[in-house]
Amino acid sequence: MRAFVLTGPREFAVRDVPAPVPGPGQVVVDIDRVGVCGTDVEFFTGEMSYLHSGQATYPIRLGHEWCGTVSAVGDDVDRRWLGRRTTGDTMLGCGACRRCAAGLHHVCERRFEIGIRGGWPGALAEQLLVPVSALHALPDEVDAVAGALVEPGGNALRSVRGADLSPGDSVLVLGPGTIGLLVAQLARAAGAEVHVLGRSERSLAFARTLGFAGVWADGDLPDLPWAAVVDASNAPGLPSRALELVEPGKRVVYVGLAGSPSMIDTRSLALKDVTAVGILSASAGLDGTIEQYASGAVDPSPLVAATVGLDRVGAVLGGWRPADAGQGPKVHIDPRL
C-alpha cells in the first residue's frame, strides 16, 4: 500500500510499504479521510517534544485524525465489524497497569499513540492497523469529513466538560484554530455565550462567519465576567493571560501546547481560587462528539478548507494550501486520490 513516510525534519516520501495484517484483537481499516494536525507539523519541523525525549523517532508514519471502513479482522474479532464505518482512539494503553485499570489508558506510561508515540504507524496511508478495542463506530449521519474531525472534537468536548459551564455562562476561547473553534461550537451547543480571541485577521474573519457572540483581537476584548477561559492556542504567553482573565472561583482549561515552556503564577491561581484543568487526548470524548455531530448540534465541516491526496501531504505540512481552499483551518487528506 501507499503511505506517507517522514524520515527526518522536512524529509519525506510517499512509499510503497507492506499492507497491514490483523493479529489477535486487531482490525485493518481502509482509510477514507485524515486530518493534518499541528502535532504532525511539529514532527515535520523536528520540534515535537517526543522526538527529543525518545518517545518517537524517525522514520515515522503520521496521522491520528481519521475515519474509514473496516476491511479485515483478526481471527478472534467479531466479524460484524467488517464493512462498518469507524473512527478510533489515538491512545492505546497497555491494558495491564493501574492507570489502564482505572480508565486512564490515555496517560498509560507504556501507551502507544497512533501516528505519534512508540512507533505505531499512523493513518496517512491507504490502510491502518488498529486494535478493535479502540474503534468507535460512525452512524450514517456522520460523513467522512465529520468522521475525521471526531478526534479533535473529542479533545474539544473534554475541554468544554472541564470548563464546567452552565447555560448562559460567558466563556472565552483563546485561539481560533481547529480545536479552539470546536471548543467554541461545543460550548455554544451547551448553552454558553461564546467569545473567541485570536491574532491573525484571516483566522478572526473566518471565526466571525461561525456566528459566535464575539470574536476579538486582544486590544478589543471586552471586560466580561468569564466563567471559563479555554486556552487552545500554541502561544507560550496565553496560559498566564487565561489565568489573568478568568473570574475568581472559576476555571481555566489548558488544551493547547506551546513549543516552549509556558509560565503561570501559581500565587494568582491560589489567590483567585481558580481551578486549572489540563486536557490530553480525545479518548473519553469520542462517543460524545459523535453524538453531537450525528444530532446536528455541531457541524464541524466548515472548518475543513480543502481535501487533497497523499502526494500533497508534505506540502501541506510545510504550509501550502490549494489555491481554491476555503477559509477554515483544517486540511484533510484522502489517500484514495
Same domain, 142 and 36: yes
Same domain, 197 and 327: no
CATH code of the domain in which 232 resides: 3.40.50.720
Any domain includes 285: no
Same domain, 241 and 265: yes
Q: How many domains does the chain have?
A: 2
| pLDDT per residue of the chain (337 residues) written in tens, 0 to 9 | 999 999 999 999 999 999 999 999 999 999 999 999 999 999 999 999 999 999 999 999 999 999 999 999 999 999 999 999 999 999 999 999 999 999 999 999 999 999 999 999 999 999 999 999 999 999 999 999 999 999 999 999 999 999 999 999 999 999 999 999 999 999 999 999 999 999 999 999 999 999 999 999 998 999 999 999 999 999 999 999 999 999 999 999 999 999 889 999 999 999 999 999 999 999 999 999 999 999 999 999 999 999 999 999 999 999 999 999 999 999 999 999 9
Any domain includes 60: yes
Any domain includes 10: yes
Same domain, 179 and 317: no
Any domain includes 225: yes
Same domain, 137 and 39: yes
Q: How many CB atoms lie within 10 A of CB 273?
A: 9
Same domain, 92 and 183: no
What does residue 87 show for φ and ψ, rounded to 5 degrees? -125, -175
Same domain, 304 and 255: no
What does residue 77 show for φ and ψ, rounded to 5 degrees? -95, 140
CATH code of the domain in which 132 resides: 3.90.180.10
Contacts with 319 (C-beta within 8 Å, 6 or more apart), sequence order:
none
Same domain, 97 and 168: no
Any domain includes 7: yes
Torsion of CA 37, 39, 40, 46, to 10 degrees: 150
Strands 226-231 and 246-254: parallel
Do 175 and 233 meet the contact criterion of CB atoms below 8 Å apart?
A: yes
Q: How many CB atoms lie within 10 A of CB 167?
A: 8
Cα(128)–Cα(30) distance, integer angstroms: 7
Range of the domain at 177: 156-278
Cα(215)–Cα(221) distance, integer angstroms: 8
Contacts with 81 (C-beta within 8 Å, 6 or more apart), sequence order:
27, 70, 73, 132, 135
